[in-house]
Structure 1
Amino acid sequence: MSYLKFDKTVMINLEESLTREVLRTNRLGAYHSTTVVDCNTRKYHGLLVMPVPAVDDDNHVILSSFDETVIQHGAEFNLGLHKYQGNNFSPKGHKYIREYSSETVPRTLYRVGGVIFSKEKVFSMFENRIMIKYTLEDAHSATTLRFRPFLAFRSVKNLAQANGNVNQSYTEITNGIKTCMYPGYPELFMQFNKKVKFVYEPYWYNGVEYSKEQERGYPYKEDLYVPGYFEVPIKKGESIIFSAGDSAVSTTRLKALYENEVLARTPRTSFYNCLKNSAQQFYFRPKENDAYLLAGYPWFKVRARDLFIALPGCTLSIDDPVRFEKIMHTAMPAIRNFMVSGQLDSVIKEIDAPDVPMWAIWAIQQYAKEQGIEKARELYSGFVGEIIDYISSQKHPDMKLMDNGLLFANGRDKAITWMNSTVNGKPVVPRSGYIIEFNSLWYNALCFYKELTEEMSIEKIDTIINAMDKSFAETFVNGYNYLFDSVSGFSMDWSVRPNMIFAVAFTYSPLTRVQKRAVVDIVTKELLTPKGLRSLSPKSEGYKPYYVGAQYERDLAYHQGTAWPWLLGAYLEAYLRVFGKSGVAFAERMLISLEEEMSLHCIGTIPELFDGNPPFTGRGAISFAMNVAAILRVVDLLKKYNAD
Structure 2
Amino acid sequence: MIDIRFGPQVCGALTSGATREWVVADGLGGYAMGTVAGLRTRRYHGLLVVPGETPASRTVGLVSLDPAVLLPSGARIRLGAHEWASGDVDPRGFELLERFDLTDGLPRWRWRIGDVVIEREIAMRYGRSCVAVVHRLVGGPPVRLELSAACTWRDAHGERRADGPALRMDRVDGGAVIDGAFRLAGPDWAPEGHWWRGVHHREEAARGLHPSEDLWYAGRFAGALDRPGDTVSVLAWAGDLAEEPPPATEVVAAARRRNRQVVAAAKPADDVEATLTLAADAFVVDTPRGPDVVAGYPWFGAWSRDTMISYEGLFLCTGRADEGRALLRAYAATLSEGMLANTADTGRVEYNTVDGTLWFLHAVSRHVTVTGDTDLGDELLPALRAVVEAHTAGTRYGIGVDPADGLLAQGAPGVALTWMDARVYGVPVTPRTGKPVEVNALWINGLAGLAELSELAGQDATGLHRLHGQALGSFRDRFPSAVGWLHDVVDAPAPAYPLGGAPHHDDDLLRPNQLLAWSLPYAPLEPDAATLGWVAAGLLTPLGPRSLSPDAPEFAGQHRGGPAERDGAYHQGTVWPWLLGPYADACRRAELPVDELFVGVEAHLSEYGLGSVSETADGSAPHAATGCPFQAWSVAEVLRGRRLRR
Normalising by structure 2, we get a TM-score of 0.91
1:619 aligns with 2:626: yes
What are the within-5 Å matches in structure 2 for residues 510-525 of structure 1?
Answer: 510-511=524-525, 513=526, 516-525=528-537
Distance 2:425 2:164 in 1: 38
Q: How many angstroms does 1:541 deviate by? A: 2.0
- Other structure's SS at 2:189 match: strand
1:220 is aligned to: 211
Q: How many angstroms does 1:536 deviate by? A: 0.5
1:507 is aligned to: 521
Distance 2:612 2:123 in 1: 17
> Which 4+ runs in 1 deviate beyond 3 A?
248-258, 266-269, 337-352, 373-383, 455-459, 515-519
Distance 1:369 1:341, change over 3 A: closer
Contact 2:132 2:251 in 1 (8 A): no
Q: Which residue of 235, 239, 245 corresponds with 2:231?
A: 239
What are the within-5 Å matches in structure 2 for residues 325-340 of structure 1?
Answer: 325-335=325-335, 337=336, 339=338
1:492 aligns with 2:506: yes
1:547 is aligned to: 559
Q: How many angstroms does 1:334 deviate by? A: 1.1
- Other structure's SS at 1:121 match: strand
Distance 1:340 1:433 in 2: 18
Distance 1:544 1:72 in 2: 53
- Other structure's SS at 1:553 match: helix
- Other structure's SS at 1:264 match: helix
Distance 2:246 2:633 in 1: 41
Contact 1:131 1:243 in 2 (8 A): yes
Distance 1:285 1:135 in 2: 32
- Other structure's SS at 1:137 match: strand
Distance 1:121 1:342, change over 3 A: closer
1:608 is aligned to: 615
User: Match of 2:258, as an amino acid?
Assistant: A
1:483 is aligned to: 486
Q: Which residue of 600, 610, 614 corresponds with 1:593?
A: 600
- Other structure's SS at 1:201 match: strand
Distance 1:629 1:384 in 2: 24
1:64 is aligned to: 63
Distance 1:349 1:279, change over 3 A: farther
1:158 is aligned to: 158
Q: How many angstroms does 1:325 deviate by? A: 0.7
- Other structure's SS at 2:260 match: coil
CA RMSD, Structure 1 to Structure 2 (Å):
2.5
Q: How many angstroms does 1:437 deviate by? A: 1.0
1:386 is aligned to: 386
Distance 1:275 1:383 in 2: 33
Structure 2's unaligned 5+ residue stretches are 264-269, 492-502
Contact 1:303 1:350 in 2 (8 A): no
1:176 is aligned to: 175
What are the within-5 Å matches in structure 2 for residues 362-441 of structure 1?
Answer: 362-372=362-372, 374=374, 377-403=377-403, 404-441=405-442
1:444 is aligned to: 445
1:473 aligns with 2:476: yes
- Map Cα deviations across residues 5-34 of structure 1 (whole Å, 9 max, x no partner): 111221112211011001111222111111
2:498 is aligned to: none
User: Match of 2:537, as an amino acid?
Assistant: K
Structure with greater helix share of residues? 1
Contact 1:48 1:128 in 2 (8 A): yes
User: Match of 2:231, as an amino acid?
Assistant: S
User: Match of 2:65, as an amino acid?
Assistant: F
Q: How many angstroms does 1:376 deviate by? A: 5.5
- Map Cα deviations across residues 352-396 of structure 1 (whole Å, 9 max, x no partner): 412222111111222233213745644543343232223223344
Distance 1:57 1:452 in 2: 34
Distance 1:432 1:294 in 2: 29
Contact 1:302 1:348 in 2 (8 A): no
Q: How many angstroms does 1:52 deviate by? A: 4.4
Q: Once structures 1 and 2 are overlaid, which stretch shifts more, 232-241 or 492-501? A: 232-241
Contact 2:615 2:630 in 1 (8 A): yes
Distance 1:217 1:500 in 2: 33
Contact 1:2 1:102 in 2 (8 A): no
Distance 1:607 1:123 in 2: 22
Q: How many angstroms does 1:213 deviate by? A: 0.7
Distance 1:340 1:95 in 2: 53
Distance 1:177 1:509, change over 3 A: closer
Q: How many angstroms does 1:411 deviate by? A: 4.6
Distance 2:410 2:376 in 1: 29
- Other structure's SS at 1:82 match: strand
1:116 is aligned to: 117
Identical pairs, percent:
26
Distance 1:177 1:86, change over 3 A: closer
Q: How many angstroms does 1:518 deviate by? A: 4.6
Distance 1:280 1:463, change over 3 A: same
User: Match of 1:638, as an amino acid?
Assistant: R
What are the within-5 Å matches in structure 2 for residues 25-64 of structure 1?
Answer: 25-52=25-52, 58-64=57-63
1:189 is aligned to: 183
Q: How many angstroms does 1:99 deviate by? A: 0.6
Distance 1:198 1:374 in 2: 58
User: Match of 2:542, as an amino acid?
Assistant: P
Distance 1:490 1:235 in 2: 78
Q: Which residue of 553, 563, 566 corresponds with 2:578?
A: 566
Distance 1:609 1:167, change over 3 A: closer
Q: How many angstroms does 1:398 deviate by? A: 2.8
User: Match of 1:136, as an amino acid?
Assistant: L
Distance 1:101 1:342 in 2: 40
1:642 is aligned to: none
Q: Which residue of 237, 240, 255 corresponds with 1:261?
A: 255
- Map Cα deviations across residues 152-209 of structure 1 (whole Å, 9 max, x no partner): 2111222222136214542131x222221xxxxx4321112xxx22223223222211
Q: How many angstroms does 1:340 deviate by? A: 8.8
User: Match of 2:301, as an amino acid?
Assistant: K
Q: Once structures 1 and 2 are overlaid, which stretch shifts more, 542-551 or 82-91? A: 82-91
Distance 1:379 1:5, change over 3 A: farther
- Other structure's SS at 1:563 match: coil
1:95 is aligned to: 95
Contact 1:443 1:508 in 2 (8 A): yes
Count residues in correspondence: 619
Q: How many angstroms does 1:229 deviate by? A: 1.6
What are the within-5 Å matches in structure 2 for residues 336-355 of structure 1?
Answer: 337=336, 339=338, 350-355=350-355
Distance 1:279 1:569 in 2: 15
1:358 is aligned to: 358
Distance 1:57 1:541 in 2: 36
Contact 2:42 2:203 in 1 (8 A): yes
User: Match of 2:461, as an amino acid?
Assistant: I
Q: How many angstroms does 1:473 deviate by? A: 2.4
User: Match of 1:90, as an amino acid?
Assistant: D
Distance 1:165 1:123, change over 3 A: same
Distance 2:161 2:348 in 1: 33
Q: Once structures 1 and 2 are overlaid, which stretch shifts more, 303-312 or 196-205? A: 196-205
- Other structure's SS at 1:555 match: helix
Contact 2:64 2:151 in 1 (8 A): yes
Distance 1:102 1:282, change over 3 A: same
Contact 2:169 2:176 in 1 (8 A): no
Q: How many angstroms does 1:342 deviate by? A: 8.8
Distance 1:431 1:632 in 2: 29
User: Match of 2:451, as an amino acid?
Assistant: K
Q: Once structures 1 and 2 are overlaid, which stretch shifts more, 526-535 or 257-266? A: 257-266
Q: How many angstroms does 1:399 deviate by? A: 0.8
Distance 1:395 1:564, change over 3 A: same
Distance 1:529 1:311, change over 3 A: same
Distance 2:442 2:273 in 1: 28
2:133 is aligned to: 132
- Other structure's SS at 1:599 match: coil
User: Match of 2:415, as an amino acid?
Assistant: K
Contact 1:472 1:510 in 2 (8 A): yes
